[in-house]
Chains A and B, each alone.
Chain A
């Protein structure tokens, strides 16, 4: 291992500009003559728009335009799309209602876009928004996930009973048989709470229209600018792709919420032509709470069948997933193909059947959020497993070990073919690191201090590296999920990597450069990673689902192979040897059995000056591209152990220990991976203890600021103990599995398992606030008293 290659904890190259305030985010970009957009949003959860009177607003100082859904329709701008077709059990397609970027006749959630006011300054736009009168016909709201299908109020006429789809996966008959034959059945009702994504940088956009070229540019906070261009061009119809450039510069976190193509950027780019000026919009924090796609929001009934030997024989799940008022870009895939295929967990479960009802409600759209479907699946499986172990009186670690999959490849009953793993190795290492043996002693010691100490496990698995294009295509995806890369070697041997992956906190500028340094033997500072601009990078599918390592870097690796192969041809001419006698190692081409060498940089120069070979025999230059389409998902897995202390008098829970042992396959930069694990766990603890989006019965969002939505802070978290085991991923050339979401997937069940262990009662819903925990502790006391 070199000091800068694969496996080295190199400091992040990008951090210097971030921590010195030199990052360039969308809101840092200003264009001469730019105007500002302000979105007038619905204060009602559900209403018809009878009339919009903007005459007064239009006459106000600085106002350039007040645009509504009618203007979009007149320009034949299409609605926002959902790019994944899910079919009902009966084979019919899902019922998707229209999703105009500005409301047309009806608003369906608080924050829905009624009109946009564009003015010289933001203050003028806001003032003018005050002067727009909207005559609403208020309709009843539908908020509750569990009962949305029985509501008399219908959100979209095309979706009776608010049912988007009724979908299933697995083998129903086998599962029924397993339950009939079961010795023991564990039943649980599980709610996965709704979350707001809260990236540090709120969403923003600037649309520009160049009249001379009849060309648009959109700067936006996107995790996948090429997908944004594709959708804005092919579906929404802003402009053909060659007339639309999308740039996602530095982006301050996304967690999924910046995958999607939203109303605001669509309107900014469209309106830039209408007003003849650049149009800028920057979300404020309350707008982010209202209109960034939320995450999770599942209500599930789950049962696990277990035989007389403590082996899990079946799993049955019915989930109702709230997709909000409109189908966001990938929303339909989250509670289906990103959820149910993970219900086997790390366990050998012969029969699984999952049924999912997705529902419309008058709330903000719900889509992928760090983990997307896998946290929901893991929470179901790991709560069931823990409770099963408790009911059977088997140690929860041992019960897991009894049921682990140990032979690979392993075909689950729910699509996935796990290719490699060693779950027991992670469990053993975690038990040791957490000093599981010493827990009894720690519990007794805590008891003396009046505290309830509990321990909880999570043996999660997830699917990353999404995904083989043909496979996702057969499941309804509207796109292929490969990745592209281009390696441009400059004449003096510096290297530019153009990648379709997008970095918004992950550290690609460092890890991708490490791969190049490792393979080409060039120093890190000679490598630049270029991403996020459709004018530079030809095509890409972006960053989500922990795919940038497994898929994005595999594409780079493939292109690097081509560069080395071409370099060998050049070197053969320069060193006057046969191409098959040329070796490449540590940045040097050499002729086998001789001391003749050519540095990589010198080779590049020779490739460009082309003095040593004939252009008919070999093309000059050193630039190669590749598309990499994965052959399977990757399957990171691991064990997290949470230890908590609960104050029974107040219900306050303190997370005292956290142990994570993860198998991410081959690790490029352990420091960055550890950082991803830390961030993920913090987010998972946030979901389990602190965070929760709350709408009241009328559909008003009551958690629309940090006064009411509680984010995890450093003092809510213990110092994490992070370890790793490694089984290389066999399906990609680098052996990478992916680490971006693992913490957020693993943490919630580990923490709730620990809290329920501490208080002695299973009725602890997320977020486990002091009130929730105190009530559970009281119930446990009452139960004990009654017994």
Chain B
């Protein structure tokens, strides 16, 4: 099932700072809800382990994350593919674009297009959009703190 989500947040830091944090696996790991591991394989590739809960299904997803279309400090595409074993799979990506906010700070726009399948889909299809929104909110709340600090 396709899951699409768009949004923007204004972050209290300069574009360069935001860009640096977006490329820092430690920061991403701390901000991604349920993320247990995020290790850098090379400059644009990471291995990730994250626990995701969707309605009645809770699963550990293991996968690869790649950064592409790198355009510092204006944005990139982050894409990934994760297998949750018998819980199913998730794959997809987000286009992230940075611009200067009026009156300081940085506006981050994101455009997510993901595919979810398997048991997580069979039992949680109605919940996917709201859970994804919740995860995004959680991520940006933490990320805002990280860039501010």
Contacts and interface: CB of A to CB of B under 8 A. Distances in A.
B121 interface: yes
Contacts of B89: 43-44
Contacts of B104: none
Nearest to B118: A43
A700 B1 contact: yes
B88 interface: yes
B121 A700 contact: yes
Contact of A286 (B85, B115, B119): B119
A701 B122 contact: yes
A602 interface: no
B82 to A, nearest CB: 11
Contacts of B37: none
Contact of A700 (B83, B86, B117, B126): B117
B125 interface: yes
B20 interface: no
A110 B123 contact: no
Contact of A707 (B85, B116, B126): B126
Given A130-B86, A696-B1, A708 B125 contact: yes
Contact of A44 (B117, B119, B122): B117
A40 interface: yes
Interface residues of A, number: 25
B123 A43 contact: no
Contacts of A126: 86
B123 A698 contact: no
Contacts of A131: 85
Given A43-B88, A110-B117, A129-B85, A286 B122 contact: yes
A701 B119 CA distance: 9
A44 B85 CA distance: 12
Contacts of B125: 696, 700, 702, 708
A133 interface: yes
A704 B123 contact: yes
Interface string A41-57: 10111000000000000
B1 A702 contact: yes
Contacts of B148: none
Interface in B101-139: 115-119, 121-123, 125-126
A697 interface: yes
Given A43-B88, A696-B2, A698-B1, A133 B118 contact: no
Contacts of B119: 43, 286
A2 interface: no
Contacts of A130: 85-86
Contacts of B121: 43, 700-702, 704
B122 A704 contact: yes
B22 to A, nearest CB: 28
A485 interface: no
Interface in A370-415: none
Nearest to B121: A700
A705 interface: yes
A110 B125 CA distance: 14
Contacts of A110: 117-118, 122
Given A696-B2, A698-B2, A133 B83 contact: yes
B117 A698 contact: yes
Interface string A106-144: 000010000000000000001001111100000000000
Nearest to B89: A43
B115 A698 contact: yes
A44 B84 CA distance: 13
A289 interface: yes
A290 interface: yes
A701 B125 CA distance: 9
B85 A700 contact: no
B126 A129 contact: no
Most-contacted residue by chain A among B2, B85, B88, B89 (CB, 10 A)? B85
Interface of A: 40-41, 43-45, 110, 126, 129-133, 286, 289-290, 696-698, 700-702, 704-705, 707-708
Given A43-B89, A704-B122, A704-B123, 7 more contacts: A45-B117, A126-B86, A130-B85, A286-B123, A702-B125, A707-B123, A707-B126
